[in-house]
Structure 1
Amino acid sequence: MSVDRTRPGPWRPLPCRGPEAQLFVIGDLHGQAGALGAALDAIGRVPGTGLPRRLVFLGDLIDRGPDSLGAVRLAMGAADQARVDAVTLLPGNHELMLIDGLLDPQEFMGDWLDNGGDEVIREVDPGCTARKLVDLAEIARAAFDPAFLIAMTSGPSFERAGELLLVHAGLAPGVDAGIFLSQGRFGSSGKHWAWIRDPFLDWEFGWGPDRSWVVVHGHTPAVTRRAGPDGFARAADRVETHRRLCLDAGAAFGLPQVGWAEFGPDRYRVGLARQDV
């Protein structure tokens, strides 16, 4: 097994006010713990700038991949490996489906299982014979760190950093951003900050009250096959045309690769970490 620890790409100017921090952001993981480990190693090797170092995960740490529990453990303990001062875990739609299933197994547990949660159950208990949704919910509940479940249930659902908005899926054009982001997380779907695709992806006219924000998101893969860092950056970066940057590198398709980015007050760059098996 070899791990590709590719350095991030070239710096690009931010067309908005950036964070007053050295900010790192990691996209969808979907159980690709090996690729996450490579991303954290790469971030840990980035020299400090004198500003506080912060790391934000955009959600969808779990489901579909081989090691969801390992991905959660690495994310929860990422501060030391990435050499950052603070870590924030935002929820993705897969975490929201899990929480729905734990709160109301009869109504929602099947949705989570059908969307990749079954891989988590097999990871926890390869010989699992449980069939009742309430029993499967208890297996899932026991498998995850309670602090992770609390963060997904009641922690922040988005992050503002200067005029950057960090959120799992995106915003809805023509809808006040504050109202859109205030939507609850339970029983959600469709035009929601954890679920939206179109028309968010095609919008070219800016975001936020002054249309000056740049949205950093995941949820919709920028690539669906193995990519090199340059190819991923070209596919992910829509900052100039759409005021958005997508850090989903296709882990939901079983790809052992994770997108990430570094932001400063006036610039950004994109990286890709990959575990080759």
Structure 2
Amino acid sequence: MQTPNRQTYAIGDIHGHLDLLRGVHDLVAEDMARHGAGQVLHVGDLVDRGPDSRGVVEYLRQGIAGGQDWIVLKSNHDRLFTMFMDDPLASDPGLRSDLSWLHPKLGGGVTLGSYGVPNASDRPIAKVHAEALAAVPQEHLDFLTSRPTWHRANGAIFVHAGVRPGIAIEDQAEDDLLWIRKGFLDHEAPFEALIVHGHTAIEAPTHYGNRVNIDSSAAYGGPLSVVVVEDGAVFHLTAQGRVPLLP
């Protein structure tokens, strides 16, 4: 999962906001017109909370199938979705025991609503699951389950949530790559490479020296952000162009 040394565009947590995703892709296209082609990477959380999870999954799935140089990483919310579809009573080890994917805090009911399954958080789970099996295309589930958990390019490692310090990226546990906060966010020493991640919602992309968080809270009404990583430098890509993102 190593790409040639060229610019990588990393897009934060999408959470069902297809309109925001299209807008960010437009920014990327404009930047590529000025700086040359690059690879576009999405750190996951395609689904939950926002209005059009189905549209986001289909847009990215069709783009990749059509030859777009896009990478979509596996994330905790996307895994919660596919786990529910496999077994509605399954419990993800990264999720608090008092919560389920259909709890309003997680947003699974909104995701199923985008597939035409109404009021999923308020009805018997067996009925909801049966309707979901009939409504959610298998190609969407196959797409989400087959996503890679990390990607290395331009001197950086891209993951959804973060990494366990002291463990090579090839040996990281999927649960950590999709869920980790404690032990990663408070780690101040260098990692094996700059870590670019989402998962933990903040106001704007932030460079911490050893990691860059690009989840700017699209799930909660914030913008969807994209950064450019090129030759070790990081830029926040805005409507006005590239803005250096410094530690």
| TM-score for the superposition, normalised by structure 1 | 0.72
Deviates more, 1:159-168 or 1:169-178: 169-178
Match status 1:267 vs 2:237: no
Q: Relative to 1, partners in 2 of residues 1:144 and 1:256: Cα closer, same or farther, differing over 3 Å?
A: farther
Do the aligned residues in 2 keep the contact of 1:21 with 1:51 (CA within 8 Å)?
no
Question: Which residue does 1:104 correspond to in 2?
Answer: 87
Question: Which residue does 2:107 correspond to in 1?
Answer: 116
Match status 1:27 vs 2:12: yes
| Amino acid in the other structure paired with 1:221 | A
1:222-242 residue CA offsets vs partner (Å, 9 max, x unmatched): 21xxxxxxxx24xx222x3xx
Question: Which residue does 1:9 correspond to in 2?
Answer: none
Return 5+ residue gaps in structure 2 as ranges: 93-98, 240-247
1:24-57 residue CA offsets vs partner (Å, 9 max, x unmatched): 1111011111111110111111134786521111
Q: Relative to 1, partners in 2 of residues 1:179 and 1:71: Cα closer, same or farther, differing over 3 Å?
A: same
1:160-208 residue CA offsets vs partner (Å, 9 max, x unmatched): 114311100001223443322xx34xxx4xxx11001122112111112
Q: Relative to 1, partners in 2 of residues 1:87 and 1:140: Cα closer, same or farther, differing over 3 Å?
A: farther
Q: CA RMSD in A?
A: 2.9
Q: Relative to 1, partners in 2 of residues 1:256 and 1:72: Cα closer, same or farther, differing over 3 Å?
A: farther
Question: Which residue does 2:219 correspond to in 1?
Answer: 252
Match status 1:216 vs 2:196: yes
Match status 1:58 vs 2:43: yes
Match status 1:125 vs 2:116: yes
1:88-128 residue CA offsets vs partner (Å, 9 max, x unmatched): 11111001111111121123497211111011223333745
| Amino acid in the other structure paired with 1:92 | S
Question: Which residue does 1:7 correspond to in 2?
Answer: none
Do the aligned residues in 1 keep the contact of 2:7 with 2:154 (CA within 8 Å)?
no
Please report how far the alpha carbon of residue 260 of structure 1 lies from its aligned counterpart in structure 2 after TM superposition. 0.8
Aligned pairs for 1:141-160 (under 5 A) are 141-160=133-152
Secondary structure of the equivalent of 1:199? coil
Secondary structure of the equivalent of 1:172? coil
Please report how far the alpha carbon of residue 264 of structure 1 lies from its aligned counterpart in structure 2 after TM superposition. 2.1
| TM-score for the superposition, normalised by structure 2 | 0.79
Do the aligned residues in 1 keep the contact of 2:9 with 2:228 (CA within 8 Å)?
yes
Q: Relative to 1, partners in 2 of residues 1:168 and 1:127: Cα closer, same or farther, differing over 3 Å?
A: closer
Do the aligned residues in 2 keep the contact of 1:60 with 1:93 (CA within 8 Å)?
yes
Do the aligned residues in 1 keep the contact of 2:161 with 2:197 (CA within 8 Å)?
yes
Do the aligned residues in 1 keep the contact of 2:16 with 2:54 (CA within 8 Å)?
yes
Secondary structure of the equivalent of 1:72? helix
Percent of matched pairs sharing the same residue: 27
| Amino acid in the other structure paired with 1:123 | S
1:124-161 residue CA offsets vs partner (Å, 9 max, x unmatched): 33745783434423443454453332232133111111
Runs of 4+ off more than 6 Å:
none
Secondary structure of the equivalent of 1:257? coil
Question: Which residue does 1:91 correspond to in 2?
Answer: 74
Do the aligned residues in 2 keep the contact of 1:29 with 1:36 (CA within 8 Å)?
yes
Task: Kindly indicate whether structure 1 or structure 2 has the higher relative contact order, using CA contacts under 8 Å at least 6 residues apart.
Answer: 1
| Amino acid in the other structure paired with 1:194 | L
